[in-house]
Amino acid sequence: MTVTTEINTTELNKFIDGIRPTFESSLKELVDIPSVSMDPNHKKDIEEAAQSAVRFLKSIGATAEVIPTDGNPVIYGEIIAGKQFPTVTVYNHIDVQPADADEWQKPPFDMQIENGVYRGRGTTDDKGPALTALFAAKFAKEQNIPVNIKFIWELEEEIGSPSFEKFLEKNKEKLKTDSILISDTIWISRERPAISYGLRGLQGVVVRLKTGKKDVHSGLVGGLARNPIGELAKLIAECYDAETGEVRIPGFYDDVNRASGTEQDNFVNSGFSTDEFKRAHELTSVRKTKDMKEAAERIWAMPTFEVHGIVGGYSGPGVKTIVPHQAEAKISMRLVKNQDPTKMLAMFTKFVTEKCPDAEVVAEGSLRPYLGEFSGPYNKAASESMKFAFGKEPAFTREGGSIGAVVSMNDVLGVPITFLGLSLPEHGYHAINENYDWQQASGGMKMFVKYFSLVSQIK
């Protein structure tokens, strides 16, 4: 076997053109399976997605197996070029967020292709990037790039990877690698690629308050009866100032490790713009900020307090004058480096139950924050690969979201982790009408091929 580290660009372009129909039919096959990990009714779809994944891995000449865990299985595959060569492990997930078909323009689980845009739940998060990396690996294999490529495709990412750390520990030998590549992050904009090196953590909580056995007529009881929605609203207003986003829970910011000067400069120079951010996420207005540095820091490097919903009482049209007998606030805190979810949960619980002793605080999903390096040979390779594929220098930024699996891989596998995302803000991560596109997929294949080639030379 001859090994190559030079990329034959003509061959690569030919390969990418040729693979497009296969890429598109494979993506459609995968997106059309509603592998929603949050909903137990989709267990069969999870199994079906795992079987599809095995077929795709085998189709490019990788080994492939479905490894059971305490929860959903993990699909593992590998292409071994030779024991003497470096190994890079590509992580993706193929479970998806739920999707309410009524809110979408097109059915979320019947992928539509239109002018090179792929619409459907999971197209950008993260089935599209998974297949982009997969077909890049096929080319790398065909070109004998001297690198071993391992694949980990998770099916519990959207529920916080509850079984993943145990899976890693159990299969530590098999998963041995020199570096990890994650493709599940987002650019600044289509014009501005980005490489993440940090992720926020998360602590979800539900606060329940029950003050009676049934909703009652506000004329009869109003004034004397407690109102659990009103009391939860008060609690929320005591926890944070929704207008500014400032959290008022004592000690909330104590452990925050603020972004360094260099990082802040990078944020400012990243090309991040509030106007572009508003446009991409279809926001009418955003919170006031002093400057671009503060705006960027808020979404990437500062913790948050967020209310996702308040359930209880009357929700139909108009007003029905009942006093609700119970209410539930769905809350989460995004956390940054050094903020420990367990400690933050305890802090929150203490604050809430001191203010309202009969409120019940139920812990939901919990993810530790991650902060890696933004320099070193792997990030250098990543940056070069992005420039090679898209002709633009990437920005080094943090990411505001959370990927629990990253923290686990960092802990258990202990090797450098690099983020090569392909998603754009307007792709609609977790939102309605999620999409991905051939421009990002074709560029992404080039990027991954270049990256495989470059890491094959890292000693």
Instruction: Mark 100-129 as b/e (b = at least 16 C-beta within 10 Å).
Output: eeeebeeebbebeeeeeebbbbbbbbbbbb
Window 323-352: residues binding a copy of itself (CB under 8 A) = 323-325, 330-332, 334
β-pairing, 216-217 vs 117-119, is: unpaired
CB nearer to a copy of itself: give 164 or 378.
164
Nearer CB in complex with a copy of itself: 77/324 = 324
* CB contact at 8 A, 123 and 431: no
Residue 416 has phi, psi (to 5 degrees) of -60, 140
Site string for a copy of itself, 408-437 (x = CB under 8 A): -----------------x--xxxxxx----
Nearest-approach distance from CB 369 to a copy of itself, in angstroms: 11
Full DSSP string of 172-196:
TTTT--SEEEE---B-SBTTB-EEE
Residue 284 interacting with a copy of itself (CB under 8 A): yes
Q: Does 21 bind a copy of itself (CB under 8 A)?
A: no
Choose, by CB under 8 A, the member of 250, 314, 338, 373 that binds a copy of itself: 314
**Cα gap 38→392, rounded to integer Å:** 37
Site size with a copy of itself, rule: CB under 8 A: 95
Q: Which amino acid is at 161?
A: S
Helix axes 377-390, 438-455, angle to 10 degrees: 140
Q: Which part of the chain contacts a copy of itself (CB under 8 A), choosing from 42-50, 218-226, 414-422, 442-450?
A: 218-226
For a copy of itself, the closer of residues 174 and 287 by Cβ is 287
Q: Which residues in 230-255 are b (16+ Cβ under 10 Å) and which e?
A: ebbeebbeebbeeeebebebeebeeb
Q: Quick count: other Cβ atoms within 10 Å of Cβ 173?
A: 6
Nearest to residue 297, comparing CAs of 245, 249, 361, 349? 245
**Under rule CB under 8 A, which residues in 90-119 are in contact with a copy of itself?**
97-98, 103
Interaction mask 118-157, a copy of itself, x per CB under 8 A: ----------------------------------------
**36's tokens:** 């929603």
Q: Which is nearer to a copy of itself, 173 or 243 (CB)?
A: 243
Q: Confirm or reject binding of residue 398 to a copy of itself (CB under 8 A).
A: no
Q: Is 264 in the site for a copy of itself (CB under 8 A)?
A: no
Q: Does 189 bind a copy of itself (CB under 8 A)?
A: no
Query: Which member of 192, 200, 446, 450 binds a copy of itself (CB under 8 A)?
Result: 200
Report yes or no: 441 and 132 within 8 Å, Cβ to Cβ. yes
391 binds a copy of itself (CB under 8 A): no
